[in-house]
Amino acid sequence: AYTAVDKAEDEVDICRAVNKTGALNIALLCKEYSSVLVHVSTDFVFEGDIVDLLKEDDLAEPISIYGVTKLEGEIDIINTLPEHYILRTSWLYSEFANNFVKTMLKLGTDRDQLNIIVDQIGTPTYAIDLAGAILDIIESGKDEYGIYHYSNEGAVSWFDFAKAIFDISGTQVKVYPIPTSEYPTKAARPKFSVMDKSKIKEVFQIEVPYWRDSLIKCIDKLKK
């Protein structure tokens, strides 16, 4: 997927080619070869202006090019291939590639203090947990196709997430909360994007770890 949220505002065609057309092409191939598609989508398909758990059938109204193209990809998959699982997730991180956890750990060693946004609320998702959920769905053999929400359990602001990262890692750095208005970005972000995971838990009996527990596991691996 094309996931550079701010850069997407300037690279609309490239972003759409990957997130919409790319998803459609994969769905067409799956249809040709009678395969099931597991597609990872995002909480950015929602506006996030209401403080309530987001369900799979809630109205999707993205407020960024990234969110728009991810929703377009979802729609193309749904219209092309009935045999699909679309998993919307949020705030992905792991010990691999670039992500918020690794960025904070690096900044925490380079700086004495950091300003972190406090008025965007969501749920971090450890990529290992998401991969496990996908594997559980595939191995279940159930043909309960459709959209599912998956993140870790709980809700947290970026500010409190950062504080937890430093607390767990033992990094000494002062963290100050700031509103979104003091850290403007090219692309708008949902203010509240905590997703309801009842459906995936009920259909596939998937156990969802609490976000802090998974964060501890990730940081432990990064320390090794």
- Which residues are the active-site residues? 66
Q: Are 219 and 165 in contact (CB under 8 A)?
A: yes
**How far apart are alpha carbons 40 and 12 in whole angstroms?**
20
Q: At what angle do helices 211-223 and 100-110 cross, to 10 degrees?
A: 60
Which is nearest to 147 in space by CA: 8, 66, 45, 218?
Answer: 45
Tokens 């919409």 belong to 20
DSSP-based helix, strand, coil % in the chain, nearest 5? 45, 15, 35
* Residue at token pair 């501890």: 216
The Cα–Cα gap between 102 and 198 comes to 30
Helix (H, G, I), strand (E, B) or coil at 23: helix
What three-state secondary structure class fits 125? strand
Give the total residue count for the chain: 224
Bridge partners of residue 125, in order along the sequence:
92
| 3-state DSSP of 137-177 | HHHHCCCCCEEEECCCECCEEHHHHHHHHHHHHCCCCEEEE
